[in-house]
Amino acid sequence: MAIKKQRAARRTDALSKERIVEAAIEILDSDGEGALTFRALAAHLATGSGAIYWHVANKDDLLAAATNDVIARVMADLPGGARPREAIRALALGLFDAIDAHPWVGTQLSRAPWLAAIPQIFEAFGSRLEELGVPEEAQFDATSTLVIHVLGVAGQNAANARLHAHRTDRTAFLGEIAQQWAQLDPSRYPFVHRVAAQLPEHDDREQFLAGIDLILGGIEAAHPGSSRRT
Amino acid sequence: MAIKKQRAARRTDALSKERIVEAAIEILDSDGEGALTFRALAAHLATGSGAIYWHVANKDDLLAAATNDVIARVMADLPGGARPREAIRALALGLFDAIDAHPWVGTQLSRAPWLAAIPQIFEAFGSRLEELGVPEEAQFDATSTLVIHVLGVAGQNAANARLHAHRTDRTAFLGEIAQQWAQLDPSRYPFVHRVAAQLPEHDDREQFLAGIDLILGGIEAAHPGSSRRT
DNA sequence: CTCATGTTGGAACAGCGCTCCATTCATGTC
DNA sequence: GACATGAATGGAGCGCTGTTCCAACATGAG
């Protein structure tokens, strides 16, 4: 009557883009990227695939929405007030942990740079570099290098997850690759040989952070006035 | 069994993995990643899809072989004898140019880290860092940061290529993204706003190299004794 | 009531990677 | 020369995918 009706719920559990994205994330997290099909999604939501297309343009649209969802949560959960350098490390680690928990996000980020999440990530890194005192003409290159590092690790992480999805042990999996590397001709691959031993026991998260620190070190070295060493 | 089919005579241009990979690369280069199907490949080779499977395990195997082919050519074409830092830049640029010319290689590298090409790339970067005097315990992190940068840019490049594959103008495409970025709320995205203007006119190759230089700067800053500045 | 509108669900379609298998031909054996 | 063997071939067919299409439905408006 006088009350302006909201979208009337035809089913008590009405379909909506939010509900669809939520269900998609559940499937992606529990059963992996390959398990997200419109049929599986329709079954999960007790509907037909046609109904889903009323709310979602196509699969890319769905994956983009799911990815933006996860990234937006990361950005919202960031602690504020830290000094620039620490804030950059926290941001990078937050992204790493989200991608580690949802490897499919890594796949999306590394192959869909037009995602709405990308300018958010750009802004977060870039504004911290500004605070750090990096001169304006150097900010674009510095920011994109940090972003590329995150996206690069995201892609590799997702690929690793895809590979040992069915395996039980992650260390065992890295051990197999290490063994392959160790079998290469030592005279042509001396460095790979030396590094193979470190492969099974290395920590992806620490190595990721070491990369961030190297890049930050390079930025500070290129602009010595920008900030004191920490 | 009424009709006895006339079979084609045994081909003089025998099928082989090399010939198949070669044909696959042609299709990938000329018509893009989406165009490589076993049916298209069979048509291109004037055979059936079943025959291809005699020489190739599956599509991943085929793509891996094609990727390794391209990367191996890059490694073979590297100029020798340069000083370590210049050699690293030349290697990085060689990889960038190959990925730029064959965007599908970027897709493969960024999503299949178990490729035979990866230890080759690792070795090339790592041994140069050794020459540069980077201490042994720091070589793994430094090398992987360089490799991640290459793979990260590879993935983004491939994604961009996928996106404006049918478009004529690359600058126009970047202009569209820049416009999207410029339409974001300036109070929440001040940095993205400033950078949007640089987006259409920036050079991917130079930015890639700037990233390599930042990382190298960080490596040298972390190990001051390792080498003189160049 | 009768519409019109906005949703739903599932059948149908084209295309994919891949398997299967009857068939062909180069080669080795006698 | 006749035959057996098995590598190599080519195409039909399977199960799956994303996507489209459309008949059926629920609800608010007149």
pLDDT (average), residues B47-55: 96
- B49 C-beta less than 7 Å away from strand D: yes
- pLDDT given for residue B14 in this prediction: 76
Note the maximum CA span of chain B.
83
Is the model's pLDDT at B165 over the cut of 60? yes
How far apart, in whole angstroms, are the C-alpha atoms of residue A87 and residue A129?
10
Q: What is the pLDDT of residues A192-215, one digit of tens each?
A: 999 999 999 999 999 999 999 999
Are B214 and A222 in contact (CB < 8 Å)? yes
Interatomic distance A36 CA / C11 C1' (Å): 21
Q: Which of A160, A76, A73, A163 is nearest to A110 (CA)?
A: A160
Confidence of residue A17 (pLDDT cuts 50, 70, 90): very high
As a dihedral over the C-alpha atoms of residue B98, residue B102, residue B107, residue B112, rounded to 10 degrees, the angle is -60
User: Which of B145, B177, B181 is opposite residue A214, by nearest beta carbon?
Assistant: B145
Confidence of residue A168 (pLDDT cuts 50, 70, 90): low
Which region among A134-148, A177-191, B7-21, B33-47 has the lowest average model confidence (pLDDT)?
B7-21
Q: What is the pLDDT of residues A137-156, one digit of tens each?
A: 999 999 999 999 999 999 99
Are B215 and A213 in contact (CB < 8 Å)? no
**8 A C-beta contact, residue A117 and residue A73:** no
**8 A C-beta contact, residue B15 and residue B24:** no
pTM for this predicted structure: 0.92
A216 in contact with B at a CB cutoff of 8 Å?
Answer: yes
Q: What six digits make up the tokens of A18?
A: 């939010």
**8 A C-beta contact, residue B126 and residue A195:** yes
B34 in contact with A at a CB cutoff of 8 Å?
Answer: no
